Amino acid sequence: MIDRLRKKFIRICMLSFCLVFLLLFTAVYVGASLQTDASLDALADIVSQFDGRFPDFEEFGDEDGLFLPPEGVNRESPFTTRFFTVRFDGGGGVLSLDVRSIASVTEEEAADYAARALSSGRTRGWLGAFRYKVYDTEEGSAVVFINGTEARAGNRRFFLSAASVFVGGSLVVLLLVILFSKRAVRPTAESYEKQKQFITDANHELKTPLTLIRTNLDILEAENGPNEWLSDVREETERMTELVNRLVLLTRMDEDRSPPDLRPFSLSEAASEVAASFAPALQRAGKSLVTEIAPAVAYTGDEGAIRQLLSILLDNAVKYSDAGSWVRVTLTGGRHPTLTVDNRCAAVGTMELHRLFDRFYRSDKARTYGSGFGIGLSIAKAIAEQHRGEMTASSPQAGVIRFRVRL
């Protein structure tokens, strides 16, 4: 048990760490990309403002001038900014090209880049390693391209460094979580073990007196004959024995997480036989049984456990369906066979359906005699989960409760 809790604790911690890092990484990546675009756009604005050239620093003017350099532009910027411009006339023909400030682009390549930028219909964007801006001139349109290779390379180096920090940090966090996980889950594990040990001890302590009571009842009935009081004692003894057996079964199912004994069998035949076995009980209670079982539905699983699951659902339906009503059992085939048990229940509107599978939960708050122990549905749900299935409770219409098992 403690190993399963530790593994779950480690998975949750590492998943939380990775999720937080990815959110931060995404925020930094988006922020850095936007900042890179903004800085390159500022350079493109300068070139377009000065008619396709990058001005000397003195040309920006002082604080009383009309144009001040943006943040990050200094005296070295005219020499470190790699750019080229292409001008077009009103008909879309190339008027001039200026590639003097870049060595990696020829005039033919510059014309091709500019034509693609104009055809995109956007005023700003990226083409390869270049950030471009389309602006209007007296002759027509012009496009300025700023080389963003260095900016992008700097971003890549930063992100590679961040990824390295993440990998290293993940290893450190994983080591710390492993070291402290046992201590973190110890209180829960100890509580669970005490509960399990209590049920096991109670089973041993209760079975002996229950067996003795039944033996004495047999002797008394043999000597004095059956009577009402002995029958009541025997009935309560049987109920107590059933409760102890179910508690032990639940404990074993919790403790043993190994897969069930999987063998192919006819699910249609099993469902039909179990449903038929409850027909007399329903008839005695003045209720009817309706079956809609698809033929030749095969399934690979623990046949005994599946029969027990359906028996629990039908027993529940017999006890809690309205007088004079019906119980319907449905089986559909396919990749995931589905068992459904419906019955009329006027009180379904007052039930907490999501709690019906909780142990010892019963919808009748008064806990009246004969209303069950409140653990049968827990066993049924555990069986479904052992077969990697799911079990749900719902009310498809007013006054009807449905238990659905998807295997």
The domain total for the chain is 2
Please check whether residue 132 lies inside any domain of the structure: yes
- Degrees to nearest 5, angle at CA 239 with 235 and 243: 170
Residue that is last in its domain, among 129, 147, 165: 147
pLDDT over 50 at 191, yes or no: yes
The span from the CA of 25 to the CA of 36, in Å, is 16
Query: Is 126 a member of any domain?
Result: yes
Q: Give me the amino acid identity at 177.
A: V
Distance CA 135, CA 348 (A): 70
Range 139-166 average pLDDT: 89
Residues 273-288 pLDDT 10s: 999 999 998 988 889 9
Query: For residue 203, is it within any domain?
Result: no
pLDDT tens for residues 219-233?
888 888 878 887 878
Secondary structure of residue 145 in the 3-state scheme: strand
- Last residue of one domain, picked from the residues 128, 147, 166: 147
Cβ within 8 Å of residue 238, ≥6 positions away: none
| Domain finish residue from 96, 125, 147 | 147
Is residue 358 a part of any domain in this protein? yes
Q: Which of 302, 308, 279 shows the shortest CA–CA distance to 377?
A: 308
In a domain, 6, yes or no: no
**DSSP string of 71-97?**
TT--TTHHHH--EEEEEE-TTS-EEEE
pLDDT of residue 367: 44
- Asked, for residue 21, whether it belongs to a domain, the answer is no
| Maximum Cα–Cα distance across the chain | 123
pLDDT attached to residue 203: 67
| Through-space distance between the first and last CA atoms of the chain, rounded to whole angstroms | 26
**DSSP 3-state assignment of 290?**
strand
CATH of the domain at 370: 3.30.565.10
Query: Residue 134's domain spans which residues?
Result: 83-147
pLDDT at 368 over 60: no
